[in-house]
Structure 1
């Protein structure tokens, strides 16, 4: 195979991998890895001519194309920061293929493919759980544009989707190889039958789940406000914050009635933390006016987002993220507030923070990095966080999961809310940072996935982007348009049933991680044994 042909395969795979993130059907991923599998097979067969490092060079080209085309909209915040993350992520992806390729050379092609599946899922899992999270390119997540076909995610989560795609790619590759090698028809038929079963059985199961799933009628009436504030030209003085307050109440009043249970505002309705001292909420003018507003209605209570801060009495109380300005030691938070009709407040501090924008990665282990923080936009600086998910508990006992922006990407994290009793989910976000790009559309898909996994209805309030209601089958209802100042009213049903995924979380990823460790250890032992044999005296 000539170099130009090898590069063409890399380029083709990179484009195919990117297309679902650009608005094309997610089913493209069922063939997207096939060109890379042909490359891996070529370098495995020609291992006497090419070193193992030849494969990751080609894979890096494909994964870099994938990262750039699928995530280019993130560069609207910072070209340097996001660009560096893209290169680093592509490098890690290529590393996964390299290790699997080494196993195929040293152990067997079959074990190499098994390690590729296990290691890729493990890589995705790490991307959800380490301090430089980059989970937006998880393969199983992109199938959210076909909710009718992934209803079984309530049992497997999105890692089931990744496993499905990887197995399908490998089986399709084997079928094509059988045709190339003129394998006896019986083997082609056998492999093709397995491929069709692997493809169709999940679809049939999903179709049955979709058609038979019925929500228990237990409605909550909600008003969602989309204030449509441009984060790039937003002002933060008192006059600007009062204007936001008036706009918020005016929009809410248009669709709120005495039947409304909740008025839901987006993330950081009020952005200037100086006006939101958590120790002085009782004297906060904004809260006073909002309390008076909701008391106009029979049942309405309020959930909305602010940037807040908490002052510590001394250094001993302070967290590692605390800042010191003029001798005042404090933490800033991306906060969700729940305001009751009696004027009482419950708070939730965003826990899953965006690396580089809201936190410095690995700060716990390298505290000196705190002073090297790079401003990548948004609510920049090291924000404080709470350690675990917590629900808002209403006066009637209803538990609401407050999910802030980036947190909606993390399926297993949202199971913590549900296991703690959440009956509905509120997602509050500000997708205006991504402007009119694929960003806000991709972000919506994650909320649809969470609805299927947890079987919880979702009310989603975006500053701009897509505010909507999402039912327990993951279907979007009453979606607002981009860059429109508006408010909508509707109902979602509560649910207290626990799905298999909520109970066991990302068990597929944990099994894959175990398999990866075992196979990598086997590879190390085999390589060590071979080196010992080579160095042994004759």
Structure 2
């Protein structure tokens, strides 16, 4: 095969892998890896003339194209940081393919393909767990643009989707190779049959789950406010904050009635640091106005986002993310706040922070990095965080407060549900991504969380898309992008725990275990 044709296969693979993130159906992924598998097989069959590392460059080219086309919108926030992350992620992706290819060369094709699958799944799992998370290109997640085909995620989570995509690609390639080599029917028919079964059976199961799933009637009336504040031109003085409060209350008044249980506002609705000192709520004039508003209605409570601070009086309480200004030591938080009609307050501090934006990766271990960050709101330093998920417990429901990036983490969201969450409120500010695929892709993650946990979701996004999401993952009353809006509707509470909630990412953990065995096997052979 000529070099030009090899490069063409790499470019084709990168483009095909990107399509589902660009709005094309998720099933495009069912054959998107075939060009790379064809390349891998070429280098395997010609290993005398090409070292194993020859595959690495071809996969890296495909991976960098995939990363750029699928995630370019992230560069709107930080071009250099996001560019570096894309290159690093492409390197890891290509490293996985090289490792699996090497195992195939030195052991067997079967072990090589098994290694490829478990290594890719393990890499995806790593992207959810370490300090420079990059989980947005998970294969199983993008299938959310067709929720009717992934209802079985309530059992497997998104890693079940990743496994499905990889196995379908490998089997499709095997069928293609058999046809290309004019293999006898006794060899072609079995692989074709397995491919058909693997494709059709999950679809049948999913369609059946979708059609048969019925939500238990346990309604909560929710009003969602989309204030549409431009984050790139936002100001943080008291005049600007007061205007945001006025606009929020005006929009809330349009849809709030005596039947309303909750009014939900977006992430970082208010950001005046001094005002939102968690130790001095009694002096917060905004809370007084919000309480006066709630007094007009029979039972409504509010859930909304603020940038809050916690001031430390004792040195023993100071965290590694604490900041020091004007002789005051404090932590800043991206906070979800429950504020009741009676004036009671509960807070949740965002735990899954965005690397390079809300936190400096590995700052806990390298304190000199403390002030190397990307400024997204007139603040300095990394944000504080709480260590685990916690719910907001209101009179009428137990709420899971999921803030922005946290909606990407399926297993993390199950922690709320295991602690009793009956509903999920997602609050976010997707205005940072402007009118790109970013805010559309972000919505898909909320649909996934609804299916995995079978929890109804109310989603308030500053600039859109705000909506309600059923326990089957269907989006209702979606607002338009970059417009003020307020919507109201009923969503049902649920207390049932799905298999995925109980067991989490068991597929990914199994893949990690098998990957370790594969690596140990390689070392044993090399040194014995």
TM-score interval, normalised by the smaller of the two chains: over 0.9
Aligned residue in 2 for 1:21: 21
CA deviation profile, 1:400-456 (whole Å, cap 9, x unmatched):
000000000000000000000000000000000000000000000000000000000
Local SS of the residue matching 1:489: strand
Aligned residue in 1 for 2:340: 340
Q: Is the contact made by 1:357 and 1:380 (CA closer than 8 Å) also made in structure 2?
A: no
CA distance in 1, matches of 2:85, 2:380: 17
User: Is 1:68 equivalent to 2:68 in the alignment?
Assistant: yes
CA distance in 2, matches of 1:316, 1:18: 49
Aligned residue in 2 for 1:484: 483
Aligned residue in 1 for 2:106: 106
User: Is 1:508 equivalent to 2:507 in the alignment?
Assistant: yes
User: Is 1:432 equivalent to 2:431 in the alignment?
Assistant: yes
Q: Is the contact made by 2:359 and 2:373 (CA closer than 8 Å) also made in structure 1?
A: no
Aligned residue in 1 for 2:127: 127
The alignment's C-alpha RMSD in Å is 0.9
CA distance in 2, matches of 1:317, 1:294: 35
Aligned residue in 2 for 1:35: 35
- Following superposition, the deviation at residue 104 of structure 1 comes to 0.4
CA distance in 1, matches of 2:444, 2:231: 22
Local SS of the residue matching 1:497: coil
- Following superposition, the deviation at residue 380 of structure 1 comes to 5.9
Local SS of the residue matching 1:43: helix
CA distance in 2, matches of 1:376, 1:338: 27
User: Is 1:301 equivalent to 2:301 in the alignment?
Assistant: yes
Q: Is the contact made by 1:106 and 1:526 (CA closer than 8 Å) also made in structure 2?
A: no
Local SS of the residue matching 1:274: coil
Unmatched tracts of structure 2, length 5 or more: none
Q: Is the contact made by 2:357 and 2:375 (CA closer than 8 Å) also made in structure 1?
A: yes
CA distance in 2, matches of 1:55, 1:191: 26
User: Is 1:52 equivalent to 2:52 in the alignment?
Assistant: yes
CA distance in 2, matches of 1:165, 1:254: 45
Aligned residue in 2 for 1:416: 415
- Following superposition, the deviation at residue 528 of structure 1 comes to 2.4
User: Is 1:158 equivalent to 2:158 in the alignment?
Assistant: yes
Local SS of the residue matching 2:331: strand
Aligned residue in 2 for 1:266: 266
Local SS of the residue matching 1:243: helix
Unmatched tracts of structure 1, length 5 or more: 530-538
- Following superposition, the deviation at residue 28 of structure 1 comes to 0.6
CA distance in 2, matches of 1:20, 1:143: 8
CA distance in 2, matches of 1:364, 1:133: 16
User: Is 1:177 equivalent to 2:177 in the alignment?
Assistant: yes
- Following superposition, the deviation at residue 124 of structure 1 comes to 0.2
Aligned residue in 2 for 1:247: 247
Local SS of the residue matching 2:133: coil
Aligned residue in 2 for 1:143: 143
- Following superposition, the deviation at residue 377 of structure 1 comes to 3.2
CA deviation profile, 1:154-174 (whole Å, cap 9, x unmatched):
000000000000000000000
CA deviation profile, 1:25-75 (whole Å, cap 9, x unmatched):
111100010000011111111111111111010000000000000000000
- Following superposition, the deviation at residue 376 of structure 1 comes to 5.2
- Following superposition, the deviation at residue 366 of structure 1 comes to 1.6
- Following superposition, the deviation at residue 363 of structure 1 comes to 1.4
CA distance in 1, matches of 2:302, 2:374: 32
Aligned residue in 2 for 1:187: 187
Aligned residue in 1 for 2:384: 384
Aligned length: 527
- Following superposition, the deviation at residue 326 of structure 1 comes to 2.0
Aligned residue in 2 for 1:535: none
Local SS of the residue matching 1:472: coil
CA deviation profile, 1:357-386 (whole Å, cap 9, x unmatched):
000111122222213x13253566300000
Q: Is the contact made by 2:9 and 2:36 (CA closer than 8 Å) also made in structure 1?
A: yes
Q: How does 1:401-412 map to 2 (within 5 A)?
A: 401-412=400-411
User: Is 1:205 equivalent to 2:184 in the alignment?
Assistant: no
CA distance in 2, matches of 1:66, 1:272: 39
- Following superposition, the deviation at residue 316 of structure 1 comes to 2.1
After the TM superposition, list the runs of 4 or more consecutive aligned residues in structure 1 that deviate by more than 2 angstroms: 376-381
TM-score by length of 1: 0.97
Which stretch shows the higher mean deviation, 308-317 or 298-307? 308-317
CA distance in 2, matches of 1:438, 1:59: 25
Q: Is the contact made by 1:389 and 1:417 (CA closer than 8 Å) also made in structure 2?
A: yes
- Following superposition, the deviation at residue 526 of structure 1 comes to 1.6
- Following superposition, the deviation at residue 274 of structure 1 comes to 2.3
Local SS of the residue matching 2:490: strand
User: Is 1:447 equivalent to 2:446 in the alignment?
Assistant: yes
CA distance in 2, matches of 1:377, 1:282: 28
